Amino acid sequence: SYDLIQPPSVSVSPGQTVSISCSGDKLGGKFASWYQQKPGQSPGLVIYEDKRRPSGIPERFSGSNSGNTATLTISGAQAMDEAEYFCQAWDSRAVLFGGGTKLSVL
């Protein structure tokens, strides 16, 4: 079966840049999306089609996808960015989510 692998947790200091990876076989050949989920809330879309931002998502959120790895980057992280982040892609007739990465802004 196809899996998307994310690190369980990452941390960043306020104002610094952090990247979260999502690895899967030939993931670069698929479209990757990213979701942010804060405690007690539903997930929300922050990146789609590898690098596009929905309206209302701050410019500090960016994405890339090449080879076997998709990456979500937050440039100038803020306390409000502390959340869990999930990557997502389609594989044939199924949708896959990564296991999630908890971002701490310390």
* C-alpha–C-alpha distance, residues 94 and 8, integer Å: 23
For residues 89 and 33, is the Cβ–Cβ distance under 8 A? yes
Main-chain dihedrals φ then ψ at residue 23, nearest 5 degrees? -110, 140
Instruction: Scan residues 39-68 and list those touching another protein (CB under 8 A).
Output: 42-45, 48-49, 54
Answer yes or no whether residue 79 interacts with another protein by CB under 8 A.
Answer: no
Please give the size of the binding site for another protein, defined by CB under 8 A.
25
Note the residues at the interface with another protein (CB under 8 A). 1, 30-31, 33, 35, 37, 42-45, 48-49, 54, 86, 88-90, 93-100
